[in-house]
Amino acid sequence: MVPLLSDPRVSLFTNGTIEIVNVTHEDQGVYTCSVDNTNISITANLEVFNKTVILKRPQIIRVLRGEAVFLDCHLYKDPRLHGYKVHWKKDNLNLRMLDK
């Protein structure tokens, strides 16, 4: 494994802040910041989630009046995410929200 600060995606600022760009799952872990010659330290647990994406979006549908229609919006979300909401709008007005 390459040491973190030799990675070109990682920058260490003079105020002690670390910036990691283009985060990957390999960046997950517990990070500890400590101050030399003191007993002061803090830890941060970095979790990296997969991006939620729409896999199948609604298509233009023609239907005869009186028939039923289904508008599918299939998505992928990281299984560790809970409590997300799917929002639908009609002519830019919110429809009822559904908990998933």
Whether 4 has a pLDDT exceeding 70, the answer reads no
Residue 50 to residue 48: CA distance in whole angstroms: 7
Neighbouring-strand partners of residue 30 = 45
> Does residue 57 sit in the same domain as residue 26?
no
- Structure tokens belonging to residue 18: 């670390």
Q: Mean pLDDT for the chain?
A: 86
Residue 64 to residue 40: CA distance in whole angstroms: 70
> Does residue 35 sit in the same domain as residue 60?
no
> Does residue 28 sit in the same domain as residue 58?
no
Residue 23: the pLDDT is: 95
> Does residue 65 sit in the same domain as residue 92?
yes
Residue 96 to residue 76: CA distance in whole angstroms: 21
Neighbouring-strand partners of residue 37 = none
Range of the domain at 32: 4-46
Using one digit for the tens of pLDDT, what is the confidence trace for 90-99? 898 888 655 5
- What is the tally of structural domains in the chain? 2
Using one digit for the tens of pLDDT, what is the confidence trace for 70-82? 888 888 999 888 8
Residue 35 to residue 76: CA distance in whole angstroms: 42
> Does residue 24 sit in the same domain as residue 62?
no
Using one digit for the tens of pLDDT, what is the confidence trace for 42-54? 999 999 999 988 8
pTM higher than the cut 0.75 = no
> Does residue 20 sit in the same domain as residue 63?
no
